[in-house]
Each structure stands twice: as structure tokens, then as C-alpha cells.
Structure 1
Amino acid sequence: MTVRIHVGAHKTASTELQYAIRSVRNELAGQGLGFLGPSALRSQRLPLSRAIRGDQNLAAEPLRAKLRYWLSSHEDHLISEENILGTTSRGEMFGGDDVLYPGAEDRLARTLELLGKPEVELFLAIRDPATFVTSAYGQQLRSGALVDVSTYVRGVKVRSLDWTGLIERLLGCEGVSRVVCWRLEDHTQVRGRVLARLLGPERAALVPPATLRHRGVSEKAYRYFMKTALEDMETPVQTLLRDAQKRHPRLEGEPSMRLLHHRTYRSSLVNYDAQAGRIAGMERVEFLRPQNPPVPPV
């Protein structure tokens, strides 16, 4: 039996992978692989997300029984849920000393306990911290949280947010055998290899090509949204943001909003490259990089 858990992170094309895999979940089940994604794990029938947040009104035993029955029903298993790490809210995203997802290891440990503490492989995509934070902030706006970006990142050294430390903490959880990691910036080039590692090569061939999900908020849309949000105190935030995105959509190839200081984006990228190098050299980490095309003979 294999158990693989894709934990995101948020804003790293997780939705694209989940959508594509879910579209062939019946075919995958026919080949012995069970799949649970966010639509199942955030539902009333299988409320994993609530359970690992410590919801005191939720009885754990029925959920535990359902998850273990699911494990017994398939040979191989894939869970994909970025909220195992936390959410994009400020308190769950940032901790002291530039920690990312400060509660991640506790939430993962609760997940593994509910599953019966199997041995698992974790799958995690990382992203340049500055663009990651900007995109996570956009997710908060879409959820209806009206907060300015300076408040969202107050006290956080964005350029120093630490993916390396997050992976070390996840590897420290009992039952985690390995972390398979890749960069969002390489998603297009490594998507096929990610799917092959998640599903197996034959099953990966069933998954349809990538489709773009969550285009993000354009710079013009954000500026329009903030202006209207200050003038209109009655319309829900989500409605104002949707209207702004409709008026100023982010077109394919267009950069998303850049709300931090330009020096933050520059220094973040430098630190991120260094972090990726360190992560690639860590024990029990498999780092997926784009494969160089073969050099033609001279």
C-alpha cells in the first residue's frame, strides 16, 4: 500500500493539478488508486480540514473510520489538500523568525493520526516568497478579507520566508519517508514528472493537459478594487473584487499585481534561488528540476 499526500503549497498550481486529477478519478480508481481532494476533504461528509484545525465540535472517530475504510478500499492512495499546511490567513501563513505555515507539522501529524499513521511521501511545490505572498494576499481578498497588504505582511521579512525550514519540519513528522519538491516556476516543464510520481507513469497518462485556473488579480484590477472598496462600504468585498477583475482581467502572459517594494522582489528571488539549492541537497528530498534537452552531436 502506498499513501502520497500533496500538501500544496497554496498558489503553486495546486488547483490545476487537483482539477485535472479529479476529472479522471473514476478511471484512476479502476486502476487501483483512490483520490481525495479539497472538494471531498472540506465537505460535511469528510471534514478533514475542520478536524486538523482542532474543531472541538467535530467528533473525530467517524472521520477516522471513514478514512481508514477508504485506505482499505484501494491499493494506492493520493490525498491533495493544501490546507493541511494551514490557510492563507496571516496567522496561519506567517510565524516568528520568518517561519512559513507555523502550524504545519501539527496539522500534518493530526492528519497522519486520523489515517492510522501510515508511511507517506509528501509532495510540495514552492514559489518565490515575494510573488507567493502577493498571490496569497490576493486569495485573502477573494475570501472577503478586506485588509491592506502592509497589514498582511507587517513584521514579516518576505524575502527571508523559509521553505527550507518548512520542509525540515515536515520531514520530522513520524511516518514521513520523503518529500518530493519542485518550483512553481518550473511547473510547465515538470508537470508530467510530478504526475508520474504522484500517480505512477501509466496512470499519469490518463490525466488531461493543463488548463489555467485562478488567473490572479491584475495590477489594474487591484487598484480599481481598492478605490471602490474605500468608496462603497455596503457591497461585499468578493463582489467588488469580481467586478474589478471583470473590468480589468489578467490576460495570459500578463504579470500579476506587484504590491511590495521592488527591492523586496529582487532580494526575494536571490534568496529563493539559494533556498532551492539547499533544498535540492537535503536528505530524503527529491527535487524535480526541468530536464535539459539533449545536446546534438557536433
Structure 2
Amino acid sequence: MPTDDFSVAFHIGAHKTATSHLQRSLLQASDDLAAQGVRYYGPDHFRLPGRTISALFGLRARRAKRPPQDQLALMRKGADRIVFSEENFIGTLAHTISRDIEFGYPNANIKIAKLARALDRPIDLFLCIRNPTAMINSIYSQLLRGNKVMPFDAFKAMVPMARGDWADLVTRLRATPGVGRLVVWQYEDYAALFDKICKEMLGAGIPAVAHHVNPRLSTQAVAQILMMHKAGSTGDLAKDAAKAFPVAQGFPRFDGFSDREHDFADMTYRAQVDVIRAMQGVTLLSPAQD
């Protein structure tokens, strides 16, 4: 694979790991980045009709408008580095309520391998991981915000924590042909690592937008959504409930897990992080490195 002229970076998520905050920060700084030789493309580009990564680079059976390398050159616009960010590429976590959620991203390595072959050059991957109970709670809030209403226990059955093995995901990605650097960080360290993440990904620092993008619903808001849905109410139930019971005004964030489940998840998550930290060819960012 050619490595000259320019490099490709891909922030693949994961979902509910401050991904939207990072993407909005990148978008806000995109003009300044372009002036420094970095082209950024995120969900605002890739979620338009016909502009998914799979469509643009011919990863589906349907023929692309142009060869993948030509498409990449068109998007590059002479930049030294091109940066993608689209968490939905490796899997979806709140797509429908009629099928299992892709927790653990079982097909992520296959999709990345196809993209690397199409681009014919190494892809540096950037991945944020998160404690599974906090992540599942957050995904559930997102599901409700999308008017896909179900009791938490029913949702939890669709996303068993055993599938959310970050060490397994990182192992598969590291073994994927065409992957260059693989940089990982924990959501719990995101605020402290923001500048370092940007420098690793972009080669430059950028300002951060305001926090609290897509916050979790409160316990009272979730209860109201479920009650109103059961009563046959329609409309944006989550918006109304979030306005009535906002976390920002002291209402506790929804948590569907027991203390025992949290303890088990914490222990498992720490073990997975330790495995990732010891992996060859993987950079695990940590505030302690400063």
C-alpha cells in the first residue's frame, strides 16, 4: 500500500463515547484545519443521501460513481491528511427495536479491511471505549429520544454485556490488514485527553465546543416516557419528558443496572483495559502520560 503524499485517519467511535462532541469540535475547526493541510469529513457529510462511506468508496454491490482512489483524491483536495469520523460505519447500536443491536461491533474488522483495500493505503484508526453499563444506559436514552420506546429490561436483553468486549474488538482491529496506527482512549478520560486526542489524530490542537451533547435522560423522564407510551400518547415523548425533568436541574440520570451489575462491569472493563494496554501496536492514551 502506498504511504507517501498523505495519510488517512478514521475516528470510528465508538457510539456514546462523546463522539458527537468530538465531531462538532472538528466541524467547528474544519476551516482552520484545512488551512493547515487537514481535511475533515464527519456525519454531516457521510449521512447525506448517496454519501455514506460504503457508497462513496464502492464497498457495496452497487457501483460507485468513480474509483475509490479518485473519490479519495477528490475529497482530499491536496491535503496532507484526511480525517473521517463516522461511528455508524462499524455498526449501529440504536437502529431498530426489531433486531439485535450490534454491541461489540462483530463486523468492524471486516468493514475496515474492505475500506483499506478500496483506498489502497493504510488507515490510522482512533477508537474511544467506555464502561459497558454507562454505555448501555446512554444508548437506551438515545433509543428513547428516537421514539423507539421499550422497557429497559427488554432493551438490556438485546445488548448483553458479554458481547461488549473491548479487548476483543481492539485485537480484531489490530490484526486487520491495512490498519496503520491504532489509538485508543477511555471515555472516562476524554475531557483530560481532548488536546492529546486531537494532536494524535490531526497533528494540531483545536478548541472544544461546549459539553453536554446528547445528555442521558433522567430517571423521572424515562418513567414519564414509558407511562405516556403505554397510554397511547404520540409525538416527541422524550423531548417533552427531558424538558420536564432535566438532568441539568438536578434530576438524577437514569440508571437501569443494580450495584452488583455495576461492580461486575467495572471489574470486567478494568481487565479489558489492562489487556489493551499490553497489546503490541496499540497506543492507549492516558492522562498519566503527560
Structural RMSD (CA): 2.5
Q: Is the 8 A contact 1:48 1:63 kept in 2?
A: no
Q: Partners in 2 of 1:190 and 1:216 — Cα distance?
A: 22
Amino acid at match of 2:276: I
Paired-residue identity, %: 28
Question: Does the 8 Å contact 1:126/1:183 carry over to 2?
Answer: yes
What residue is the counterpart of 1:28 in the other structure? Answer: 33
What is the aligned partner in structure 1 of residue 115 from structure 2?
111
> Pairwise mapping of residues 130-149 of structure 1 onto structure 2 (< 5 A)?
130-149=133-152
After superposition, the C-alpha distances for 1:71-92 in whole angstroms (9 at most, x for unaligned) are 3631111111111221113634
8 Å contact from structure 2 (residues 21, 209) kept in 1: no
What TM-score comes out, normalization by structure 1 length? 0.85
Moved more, 85-94 or 71-80: 85-94
1:261 is matched with: 258
Gaps of 5+ in 2: 1-5
Verify the 8 A CA contact 1:92 1:102 in the aligned structure 2.
no
The alpha carbon displacement at 1:274 in A equals: 1.2
1:278 aligns with one of 267, 271, 275: 275
TM-score under structure 2 length normalisation: 0.87
Residue 240, structure 1, aligned to residue 243, structure 2: no
Aligned residue type for 1:220 = Q
* Distance change (3 Å), C-alpha of 1:252 and 1:163: farther
SS at 2:157 equivalent: coil
| C-alpha distance in structure 1 between counterparts of 2:289 and 2:66, whole Å | 49
Cα distance in structure 1, aligned partners of 2:190 and 2:31:
25
Q: Choose the corresponding residue for 1:180, options 180, 183, 198.
A: 183
Deviation, 1:150, is: 2.0
**1:170 equivalent in alignment to 2:151:** no
Q: CA deviation at 1:156?
A: 4.9
1:1-298 paired onto structure 2 within 5 Å = 1-44=6-49, 46-48=51-53, 58-62=62-66, 64=68, 65-71=70-76, 73-89=78-94, 91-94=100-103, 100-114=104-118, 116-154=119-157, 156-158=159-161, 161-200=164-203, 203-204=204-205, 206-208=206-208, 210-233=210-233, 235-236=234-235, 239-251=236-248, 256-291=253-288
Displacement after TM superposition at 1:162 (Å): 0.3
In 1: Cα distance, 2:220 partner to 2:141 partner: 13
Q: Which amino acid aligns with 2:226?
A: M
Indicate the residue corresponding to 1:97 in structure 2.
none
Question: Contact 2:46–2:86 (CA<8 Å) still a contact in 1?
Answer: yes
The number of aligned residues is 280
38 and 107 in structure 1: CA distance in 2 versus 1, 3 angstrom threshold? same
- Report the more deviating stretch, 189-198 or 255-264: 255-264
Give the SS at the match of 1:35.
Answer: strand
